[in-house]
Amino acid sequence: MKIAIVCYPTFGGSGVVATELGLELAHRGHEIHFITYRQPVRLALLNSNVHYHEVNVPEYPLFHYQPYELALSSKLVDMVKLYNIELLHVHYAIPHAYAGYMAKQMLKDEGIIIPMVTTLHGTDITLVGNHPNYKTAVSFSINKSDIVTSVSQSLKDDTYKSFNIKKDIHVIPNFIELNKQRNESLISCQRSVMANKDERIITHISNFRKVKRIPDIIKIFFKIQQAIPAKLMMVGDGPEKVKAEQLCQELGILDKVIFFGNSNEIDSILSYSDLFLLPSETESFGLAALEAMAWSVPVISSNSGGLPEVNFDGISGYLSDVGNIEEMSANAIKILSNIDTLNTFKENALSVAKQFDIKNILPLYESLYEKAIYQTT
């Protein structure tokens, strides 16, 4: 199949998922065309089956905000015609499904019928989509898609609850690539740079928005390091980062916390981590938790959104109510205090992650692609 993938090219979860999906589809012989305003961060290598097409948005004094949706829909039309693309897979309801629908209509006028699969990831529904200015457009875009998927049952339920949706929504969870090689000597070397031999390494990775509850992470770690020698790795950047640094200073633990900023070394950091913290207000799925579990890192998380579908309570880690810092700290200490307990949770985390191996998830998408193309022929 010849498939166009539209996504955000950022460090965020939806862009990562879309890129990894496209690359794995290419490995299976499909021709993949990424169409976005910048090359996705995980798209390091282009080959005969992987193509990238940049969407240029010309600036005109007439427009206060440049019309990206218009430029994207026009680019989609041009690429479909030039490369005989058979299917659009757009990630995010708006603006991508909206632009995709407009492209479909323009192509239809030229006698070209092309199906569109829309994947809902989270904030397009729970945050942006619920804004009164966008709600009508979100409902329209979803209902006009040929096939709709969501990354968790929780997100599917939220979508039906918040919008007037008449389409079936298929739950296809996010995934992880598990064929990663562990270089124990390299991991040991990297770990020794970050922490002493007797210290546990706790990690958090996010975009440092309020929904991630960054102060909770600092407070949980503060309690952990009172009981166990430990270091905290804070990976990512965003509006809450400065406040987090200030809180560390106030608590006197700034020397025990390392702020990396955005990093392409996620795998390296997770490979030597002992525990992952994700106390978010809500997560549509919890991809960061799954990425940690794929490196045998147990997870302490909240029980909101799709997190219970990824982090199995008492097995791959523990779930707690949002804001329950005391319980999260106690569960973290319970895992970290005993090496046998820690090793058991590490093994369990990897075992759970294997259920989300991309090789198990990708055929679900391929099946829906075939269904979408069949329905339009």
Report the 3 state secondary structure along 89-122.
EEECHHHHHHHHHHHHHHHHCCCCCCCEEEEECC
Residue 263: band (very low, low, confident or very high) from pLDDT cuts 50, 70, 90:
confident
User: Which percentage of the chain shows pLDDT scores above 90?
Assistant: 72
CB of 138 closer than 8 Å to CB of 129: yes
Question: What Cα–Cα distance (Å) separates residue 361 from each residue in 131, 173, 296, 300, 364?
Answer: 31, 7, 20, 25, 6
H/E stretch holding 52 reads strand 50-54
pLDDT at 95: 87
First to last CA, the chain: 14
Please tell me which residue, 9 or 234, carries the higher pLDDT value.
234
**Token pair listed for 290:** 């799954």
Per-residue pLDDT, averaged over 259-274, amounts to 89
pLDDT surpassing 70 at residue 38? yes
Residue 13: band (very low, low, confident or very high) from pLDDT cuts 50, 70, 90:
confident
Residue 128: band (very low, low, confident or very high) from pLDDT cuts 50, 70, 90:
low
Residues with Cβ within 8 Å of residue 303, at least 6 apart in sequence: 313, 319, 320, 321, 322
Residue 130: band (very low, low, confident or very high) from pLDDT cuts 50, 70, 90:
low
Q: Which of 184-193, 285-294, 365-374 has the lowest mean pLDDT?
A: 184-193
